[in-house]
Amino acid sequence: MKFNFSEDLKSIREILGLSQSILQLKAQNVGKHFNQADIVNTAERKGCDGMNGWAEGIQSAVQYIEDNLTEDLQIGDIAAKACVSPFHFQRIFSALCGFTVGEYIRNRRLTFAAQELSVDNAKVIDIAVKYGYDSPDSFARAFTKFHGISPSAAKEKGANLKSFAPVRIKLRLEGGTMMEYKIVKKEAFTVMGKSRMFNADTSHIEIPNFWQEHFQEGENKIVCGMYGVCLNGDGKDFEYLIADNYNPCDEVPEGYVTTFIPAGTWAIFPCNPRDLQTVNTKIWSEWLPNCKEYKLSGNYDIEMYTPPNENPEDNYSEIWIPVEKI
């Protein structure tokens, strides 16, 4: 069933609540099926019991980053310290901290690089290589953007430098905040949509642009955008679909793909689209750490949008998170 969305792009972007909450996925072929048993990370099946275990797991991952800033850090290794998959770790970390894992690593490396340049008689090229940069030029660009001065200027006495402190994860579930949700079992279903790969560090900017482009080019006449579907990725790059329910009687237009979503249990969080980011943050920082009956399941999640209402207060959307019984 097709929805008639407004052609007003500004209104559409506000209604859809194109927030930073949409992250992390991997390229899939047309009609590719997901096997839920295959995509649940082994470490995630072990779980981190209770709120304290959850917080300690995330902090353990942060400490692993701190201990290996001069090494080749891989998101899979980092996420394993938190007992979750790379897909979920990226989302949880961003929701709790307000910046991506990649941004955190980069900022911490540039903090230490500046400290070493200011006190040691080190060569810029040696520091660049030590902290994972392929060339002095790429290091100089990142360094200047972060500190506001060049690496060579940082070696001068009295240079003004910036410091990015290590994070400390503390989850305090205090107060009487109310969060509405429901646990629903859904049959398997297939969606059809426009797919694109995104990088975790820049997706919060690029995905809203993807939606805008979708409507500007009139592709909402083919796919209205009932769903924003996030699919598992390798931790850095991922796939995102603007999608509708797929009717197998219809042909898949050129440039579109179908994706099969397996049957399973979902935690569904209703909200006004303008509150998506707030609700998303509460899911990871409040609901999930305190949930004693369910844990994260498949490496995908969905945002569902209904047609806009004349009164913005009546607009409705949902965040769907796949879960399984502990």
| pLDDT mean over 109-123 | 90
Least confident of 29-33, 177-181, 304-308: 29-33
On whether the CB atoms of residues 112 and 131 are closer than 8 A, the answer is yes
Mean pLDDT of all residues in 273-281: 88
CA angle 290, 100, 166 (to 5 degrees): 80
| pLDDT class of 122 with cuts at 50, 70, 90 | confident
In terms of residues, how long is the chain?
A: 326
What is the pLDDT, as a whole number, of residue 8?
Answer: 38
* Interstrand relation of 257-261 and 189-199 (parallel, antiparallel or unpaired): antiparallel
Residue type, 52: N
Tokens of 273: 């689209």
Torsion angles phi and psi, residue 100, rounded to 5: -80, 165
Predicted confidence at residue 177, as pLDDT, reads: 64
- 0.85 exceeded by pTM: no
Read off the pLDDT of each residue in 272-295 and give the average, rounded to a whole number.
87
| Topology classification of domain 9-38+176-325 | Multidrug-efflux Transporter 1 Regulator Bmrr; Chain A (3.20.80)
Q: What is the mean pLDDT of the chain?
A: 81
Q: Which residues pair with 304 in a beta bridge?
A: 227, 318
**pLDDT band with cut points at 50, 70 and 90 for residue 170:** low
pLDDT at 295: 87
> What residue segments make up the domains of the chain, in order of their start?
9-38+176-325
Report how far residue 296's alpha carbon sits from residue 270's, in angstroms, rounded to the nearest whole number. Answer: 18
Predicted local distance difference test score (pLDDT) of residue 85: 85
- In 3-state terms, what secondary structure has residue 176? coil
Q: Is the pLDDT of residue 61 over 60?
A: yes
The whole-number pLDDT of residue 26 equals: 29
Reduced to 3 DSSP states, what percent helix, strand and coil does the chain have, rounded to the nearest 5? 40, 20, 40
Residue 12's pLDDT band (boundaries 50, 70, 90)?
A: very low
Q: What is the pLDDT of residue 284?
A: 85
Rounded to whole angstroms, how far apart are CA atoms 324 and 9?
38
Closest among 100, 107, 103 to 24, alpha carbons compared: 100
